[in-house]
Amino acid sequence: MIIKNRLHIKKGHNQKGMTLVELLLYMGLMSILLVVVTDMLVGIANIKLESDSVSSVEQDGTYILNRISYDVYRAEAIAMPEVVGSSSGTLELDIGINKYTYSTSMDNLLLATSDGAYNLNSNRTTISNVSFTKYGVPGGQETIKIMFTVTSIAEKNSGKESRNFVTTLGLR
């Protein structure tokens, strides 16, 4: 009996730590939560990318149309394209004593003036299919039809955002 008293073992639930089953349950729940949160963040990032692509294309296209419209309304003559009915990738306007030339270079639309050349689109878009067609009657008011395509550089799930812009402007 003496031996029994010396081997007194405490029984209780004061154990610190976790059982293997508890650990597996905890890891499983955390894994599910992590997958759900990651999926949500990826979805939000894709929506932002798509929104930014559309916004860049719209902003650049609208800015280019407004800039060309402003210069055409100030111009005294359309120097290029020269012949009525002809098309060109370059538009040259005579405004006072200055020449304003719109042309493409390396997927960008440039405006060249006596002060230098300026890129009209942002670094998030490219410009393609630029065409300027001159209309009018000899001795009458000249008009110019402007066509170009703006494409986003960022690629979303459905491909790159692209939009065609077309307008016709006349000299005042």
DSSP per-residue codes, 22-58: HHHHHHHHHHHHHHHHHHHHHHHHHHHHHHHHHHHHH
CA angle 65, 66, 70 (to 5 degrees): 120
**Which tokens in the block code for residue 136?**
């009018």
Q: What's the first-to-final CA gap in the chain, in angstroms?
A: 120
Examine the pLDDT at 1 and tell me if it is beyond 80: no
- 128 — pLDDT class (breaks 50, 70, 90): very high
With 0.75 as the threshold, say if the pTM is over it: no
Contact between 161 and 151 under an 8 Å Cβ cutoff? The reply is: yes
Compute the mean pLDDT over every residue in the chain, rounded to the nearest whole number: 87
